[in-house]
Structures are given as C-alpha cells and as structure tokens.
Amino acid sequence: MRKIVAAIVVSVILVSCSTTDSGPAVKFKDGEQAVPAGYKSWPKFLMNVQRGDAKQVRDIYVNPIGARAQKGQAFANGTIMVMENYAAKPGADGKLIKGELLRVFVMGKGDGWGDSAPQGLKNGDWVYAAYLADGLTKAPEPAVTCRACHLPLTKVDYVHRYDEYFATRDGGVFTRPAGGGY
Ligand code: HEC
C-alpha cells in the first residue's frame, strides 16, 4: 500500500513539473496559440497606447510569468502577451477615444518554439497569432509580418514597448527618446 501511495505521489510531482516556468509542454507554432481565457485579469503591460498614426488605441496584458521579468532580462519561457487593437478617433483634447475592438494579437514564447520560424525571421522563441474581435476567428494578417516588424528589436527581446513597460511598471514615467522608433 505504501509503495502505491509513494508511486502516486511521485507521478503527481512529475506531472506538475512538466508545466513549470520553463514553459508549457506544448510547442506552438505561429497561428496556433489561442487567446488565453481570463487574460483581462492578468497584470497590465500598458493600457491605452495611443497610435494616432494607425487611428488605434491598444491595451496590452502580460501573464504572471512574464510580469516577473526584470529590466535588462529577456522574458522567461512561458510568457504570453495579449494586445487588443481598438479603432479610435481623436477627441476634443486631442487624445484618442477608444472605439470598437478590431483585433486581438497574441505572442508567446516557449523552449524551442522559434525553431519553426521561417528562415531569417526567428525572433528568439516567440511565436505570433492574430484573431478578430471574437478572439476565436483567425485574422488575415500573416505571422511573417509580425515577425518582420518585431525582428529588429534584438536588444529588448523583440518587444516594442519593452523600455516603456519597465519604466512605468512601478509607477515611473517614461520619456520617449527623440527619434524613437514608434
Ligand atoms: C509594422 C510593425 C508591426 C507589425 C506588422 C506587428 N507589430 Fe506587434 N507591435 C508593434 C509596435 C510598434 C508595438 C508597440 C505597441 C504600439 O505602439 O502599437 C507592438 C506590440 C505588440 C505586442 C505587445 C508587446 C510589445 O511588443 O510591445 C504584441 C503582443 C504584438 N505586437 C503582437 C503582434 C502580432 C501577433 C503581430 C502580427 C499579427 C504584430 N504584432 C505585428 C509593431 C508591429
């Protein structure tokens, strides 16, 4: 009897170890990672990002694994970021007013996920997926376009708003460098 109990305990430990911080056991490719349920209760990465050029406002969330990253580090395997892209119009004060949700973008990383990247477009181990507002229907944007635009950001783990996130996460203020890329 004791042996059986011990065996059960061991297998429970083994199972729970397979989904540690090193990332989930599943290996996603571009377009495969679903919009995670409950992401709106995750830590906020940046809210109300003003994209006057694209006439959009964006809200970005990061899962708790990603939120543990420290400035200067890459995000750990198991990190997921979700970005909601809203249509927006300029308000009287010049600030954009959020309209309807257009797209939900997901990027996540895990051990070896980048191996499936097309040649010349490997952004570390990040993979990308894009959905319509329902969060279920695939959006037409091909993942190679995501990769190409995030690819140059090698110093900040391919994350566009990396500096702004770490500068503001604990209540600080971010000053965009002159000529900053966005
Ligand atoms: C033309 C360049 C461009 C393309 C194409 C692009 N992105 Fe981004 N992405 C950005 C910029 C710039 C930001 C920062 C937020 C902002 O300014 O809108 C961003 C931010 C993000 C973020 C939040 C984390 C971060 O990097 O700050 C996610 C998640 C994301 N993009 C996913 C995607 C996915 C998925 C696709 C493809 C469907 C995609 N992106 C295509 C430029 C791009």
Out of 79, 149, 158, mutate this one to test ligand 1's pocket (max ligand atoms within 8 Å of CB): namely 149
Ligand 1 atom closest to Cα of residue 60: 23
> 156 C-alpha vs ligand 1 centroid, how far in Å?
13
CB of residue 81 inside a 6 A radius of ligand 1: yes
- Walk along the chain (182 residues) in steps of 10 and give the mean pLDDT of each run: 54 48 76 98 97 96 98 97 97 93 98 97 98 98 98 97 95 76 50
Q: Write down the pTM of the prediction.
A: 0.88
CB of residue 127 inside a 6 A radius of ligand 1: no
pLDDT of amino acid 171: 86
> 4 C-alpha vs ligand 1 centroid, how far in Å?
51
Residue whose Cα lies nearest atom 41 of ligand 1: it is 146
pLDDT tens digits, one per residue of 68-96: 999 999 999 999 999 999 999 999 988 99
| Partners of 97 in beta bridges | 89
pLDDT of amino acid 1: 52
- Report how far residue 130's alpha carbon sits from residue 85's, in angstroms, rounded to the nearest whole number: 11
CB of residue 65 inside a 6 A radius of ligand 1: no
Out of 57, 83, 144, mutate this one to test ligand 1's pocket (max ligand atoms within 8 Å of CB): namely 83
CB of residue 160 inside a 6 A radius of ligand 1: yes
pLDDT of amino acid 180: 53
> 106 C-alpha vs ligand 1 centroid, how far in Å?
9
pLDDT of amino acid 32: 97
